Amino acid sequence: MDPARLIVAELAANAVLHGRVTGRSFRLGLAVTAPATLRIEVTDARGESLPVCRSVPSELAESGYGLLLVEELADRWGVREGPVPVKTVWAELELRRCR
C-alpha cells in the first residue's frame, strides 16, 4: 500500500476514535500544492484533544503506533488549532514518493 493511503487511513481512524463529538463528523481534505506535494488534512471537532506522537509504545500495547507511522511516512506533519472547537492534523508527501 502506498504511503498516502496509509496516512489517510491513520488520520481518519484517529479522528473517529479520538476526535468524535456526537452529531459531528470529521472532514478529509486532499490537495496538491506547489511544488508537487500532496497535502492530507483531517479536521475534527475535538480541538482540545491534540495528538501526541509518543516514543515507541510498550511491546504489549495494542494501539499507539499510528502517529509513529505517520511520522515515518510523511515528509512533514503537524497540527493546526482552530477555529474553536476544531483542530486539523495534516501531513505532506512529496509526490515522487506516492508512485
Burial call 8-29: b when 16+ CB within 10 Å, e when fewer:
bebbbebbeeebeeeeeebeee
What residue ranges do the domains of the chain occupy?
3-98
What CATH class is the domain 3-98? Answer: alpha beta
pTM of the model: 0.83
Per residue in 43-84, pLDDT tens? Answer: 998 888 877 766 665 665 556 678 888 999 999 999 999 888
pLDDT digits (tens, 9 = 90+) for 20-42: 888 888 999 999 998 899 999 99
**By the 8 A CB rule, do 93 and 4 touch?**
yes
Rounded CA separation 24/43 (Å): 11
